[in-house]
Amino acid sequence: MMLERINGPRDLDALSVEECTDLAAEIRQFLISEVSKTGGHLGPNLGVVELTIAIHRVFDSPNDPIIFDTGHQSYVHKLLTGRKDFSRLRMKDGLAGYPQRAESPHDVVESSHASSSLSWADGISRAFTRTGRQDRHVIAVVGDGALTGGMTWEALNNITDDNDRNLVIVVNDNGRSYAPTIGGFARFLNGVRVTDSYRDLQEGSERLFDRLGAPGRTVYRAARGAIRGLVSRASGNQDLYSNLDIKYVGPIHGHDLEAVERALKQAKAYGRPTIVHVITEKGHGYAPAENDQADQFHAIGQINPENGESLDASSGRSWTSVFRERILELAHQNERIVGITGAMLNPTGLDAFAKAYPRRVYDVGIAEQHAVTSAAGLAYGGLHPVVAIYATFMNRAFDQLLMDVALHRAGVTFVLDRAGITGPDGASHNGVWDLATLQVIPGIQIAAPRDEATLRELLGEAVEIDDAPTVIRYPKGSVGEPIAALRRSEDGVDVLLESADREHADVLFVAVGPMARIALETAALLEQQGITSTVVDPRWVIPVQRSIVDLARTHRLVIAIEDGIRVGGVGTTIRQELREGGVDTAVSELGTPYEFLTHASRGELLEYAGLTAVQIASDVVEQVQGKRLPIARPE
């Protein structure tokens, strides 16, 4: 087995091209076998096997830093740098699904947010030159989807301003991010990909090379290089990149290991910033992924490796599926509603809306800042945009939400999927910052549904607000069982549980969204200790409603529970509102800790953060009764 012989990148040096080809096949089989057990990003990694082998053969990691944009395509890199135990991939104490510095010196950039690699590479390469380390190269592997983000073009503009450094930009062009890449640049690259000369070259490479003898192969290599030059000039690549004043090599058949190595060596020898354009196929070598039209197995759960069929047990309706249905219903009723997303039409649930009304949904690519300001323009033009995005990616467009939407009192609804603790994807994908960061925006209204019914209801309310930004945020996974309210206050706060003596209860739980379930479980445990509780779901958590302040007056302790970072979270705002209202009831602010959470399951991270019913109940008993009691989990 070739893979058993590889414990670090330099073990590749002794291999022939034929042996490396065998290694590539073994790596693909390894990935299919292992990732099918744990879930993870399978398609992107199957597409970069030869490319990653070639990079490690030509360059000397970690002396030559390799930066992946985004990091979900780094599984092959992990294997080649000695990390072969994938049994707990994306699980607690196992390998991270993205590069992680704590795992290996070969990992440089941990953030998995797209379009940042060229800025990293620009800074690192400048530092090497500045400190006299011109012998070191920097390699940025950037997907064509990431090139839809404006940050890459800002970086390119600066990279071409100073050419005295060793920087190689590998454009991994597979025509997709999650789904097919969109926009004018994507159409340009697609023109290269479907050029007859390139297609013939790609399809014939393996077939012809195997049939030629040694002398014929030498002639073939030369001819193939000449054809590539003609294809590049005919497709306009030279014109595009010459205008950027940067050397261009390509297009290269990304699954032809020898061709990729030759192109990388050429770029390495050039001594100035160079783009190597490599055309690959997401999911390459695995028929179920190649034939998957949705996302070519971009991210999977557990599957049958033989046929690619999912083995994940159904856990009920997801939050995303509820949004998918509800936004389509609202779009039927109100033609002013339009949708916007950033290269995530299917993952966020806007796909059904787009299918029904293709001219009313805009996929802007990986360009969150543009999406938000464009939404402000759509609102000014008389429409009501619904921007569907993952919560963690909303961080990238804070200024646009503040200055372009809120300042102009634009009626834009933001639907934040994967809010709170998401788990396996790690620090950069946990959506724990939205409540703390967005609530500082004047006039914003933030809602957190607790179940399917409240998501449907709150979304309907949000799209009726045309003079301020609104936010609906919910987690990854199943919506769970419905949670009924006993009553609703005049300002819209749902009371889920209250004691018989409303005027003298012990604890008021203010539960943010799905944390209502944990609050109710905690209240049941406290009842066993003779502690009475009221549990409310504000629905609209920002601004804090007056009825919550009034309820706090009649309780000994207020506990706010949120699955966002507790520093500056909803609990902090409740404390401020109570102080301003002259209420001196103590407030406990429960949320995620002031740190980056590593990859683990949602349940494990909630327990780490102290956000389980048993942990909360034990703390409450100590505060209310002054003693620490062991609280048993109810059967």
Q: Tell me whether residue 314 is in a domain.
A: no
Cα of 99 vs its chain's centroid, Å: 14
Instruction: Report the percent of the chain where pLDDT is more than 70.
Output: 86
Q: Give the 3-state secondary structure of residue 310.
A: strand
Q: Does residue 488 fall inside a structural domain?
A: no
Q: Answer whether residue 467 is part of any domain.
A: yes
For residue 253, which phi and psi values (nearest 5 degrees)?
-70, 110
pLDDT of residue 497: 96
**Annotated binding residue at 286?**
yes
What's the pLDDT band for 129 if we cut at 50, 70, 90? very high
- In order, the DSSP letters of 245-270 are T-EEEEEEETT-HHHHHHHHHHHHHH
Q: How many CB atoms lie within 10 A of CB 250?
A: 26
- Determine which of 192-201, 276-285, 525-534, 571-580 has the lowest per-residue pLDDT on average: 192-201
197 and 247 co-located in one domain: yes
Are residues 83 and 147 both part of a single domain?
A: yes
Which of 18, 87, 84, 28 minimizes the C-alpha distance to 52? 28
**Judgement on whether residues 378 and 268 belong to the same structural domain of the protein:** no
72 annotated as ligand-binding? yes
Same domain, 129 and 261: yes
Flag whether 519 is marked binding: no
Same domain, 500 and 611: yes
CB burial class (10 A; 0-12, 13-18, 19+) of residue 314?
exposed
Question: DSSP labels for 542-582?
Answer: ESPPHHHHHHHTTEEEEEEEEEEESTTSHHHHHHHHHHHTT
Residue 238 pLDDT exceeds 70: no
List the strands of the sheet with 337-341, edge to edge. Answer: 361-363, 337-341, 384-390, 413-417, 470-473, 445-447, 540-542
DSSP state of 303: B
Nearest residue to 449 via CA among 489, 486, 480, 412: 480
CATH of the domain at 588: 3.40.50.920
Residue 632 identity: A
Which pLDDT does position 222 carry in this prediction?
43
Question: Locate tokens 């990390």: which residue?
Answer: 83
**Neighbouring-strand partners of residue 508:** 534, 558
pTM for the model: 0.86
**Residue 112, annotated ligand binder?**
yes
- Asked if 554 and 448 sit in the same domain, the reply is no
Tell me, yes or no, whether 69 lies in a domain: yes
In this prediction, residue 83 has a pLDDT band, given cuts at 50, 70 and 90, of very high
The reply, when asked if residue 146 is annotated as ligand binding, is yes
3 state SS of 617: helix
Q: Which of 396, 418, 539, 575 is labelled catalytic?
A: 396
368 catalytic residue (yes or no): yes
For residues 69-88, average pLDDT:
92
Question: What is the reported pLDDT for 323?
Answer: 98
Average pLDDT over every residue of 602-625: 90
State the pairing for strand pair 413-417/384-390: parallel
Specify whether 246 is located in the same domain as 149.
Answer: yes
> Residue 323 domain-assigned?
yes
Distance in angstroms (rounded) separating the CA atoms of residues 605 and 596: 11
Q: What pLDDT score does 380 carry?
A: 96
Task: Give yes or no: residues 143 and 256 share one domain.
Answer: yes
441 with 585, same domain: the answer is no
CATH number at residue 94: 3.40.50.970
Instruction: Choose between 206 and 365: higher pLDDT.
Output: 365
What is the predicted pLDDT for the residue at 143?
Answer: 84
Per-residue tokens: 156: 């390119």
User: How sure is the predictor about 205, in pLDDT bands with cuts at 50, 70 and 90?
Assistant: very low
In a domain, 417, yes or no: yes
Q: Residue 368 annotated as binding?
A: yes
Residues 274 and 408 in one domain: no
Q: Is residue 614 part of a domain?
A: yes
Instruction: Give the tens place of pLDDT for each residue, 365-385.
Output: 889 999 999 999 999 999 999
Beta strands in 396-543 (DSSP E): 413-417, 445-447, 470-473, 487-488, 494-497, 505-511, 533-537, 540-542
Q: What is the pLDDT of residue 190?
A: 52
Higher pLDDT, 389 or 144: 389
Is 83 tagged catalytic? no
pLDDT digit string, tens, across residues 245-254: 788 888 899 9
Average pLDDT over residues 189-213: 47
Q: What is the pLDDT of residue 228?
A: 44
Catalytic residue, candidates 50, 258, 368, 498: 368
State the total domains in the chain: 3
Among 273, 290, 307, identify where a domain stops.
Answer: 290
Residue 319: band (very low, low, confident or very high) from pLDDT cuts 50, 70, 90: very high
Q: Exposed/middle/buried for 306, CB within 10 Å: 0-12, 13-18, 19+?
A: exposed
Asked whether residue 331 falls in the same domain as residue 213, the answer is: no
Kindly list the strands in the beta sheet with 586-592, ordered across the sheet, starting from the edge strand earlier in the chain.
Answer: 487-488, 494-497, 533-537, 505-511, 555-565, 586-592
Residue 355 shares a structural domain with residue 462: yes
Asked if the model's pLDDT at residue 216 lies above 50, the reply is no
114 labelled ligand-binding = yes
Instruction: Using the predicted structure, report yes or no on whether residue 232 has a pLDDT greater than 80.
Output: no
**Among the listed residues 590, 585, 586, the one whose alpha carbon sits nearest the alpha carbon of residue 616:** 590
176 is catalytic: no
Residue 218 lies inside a defined structural domain of this protein: yes
SS3 (DSSP) at 487 = strand
The whole domain housing 535 covers 493-625
Check 282, 324, 418, 473 and give the catalytic one: 282
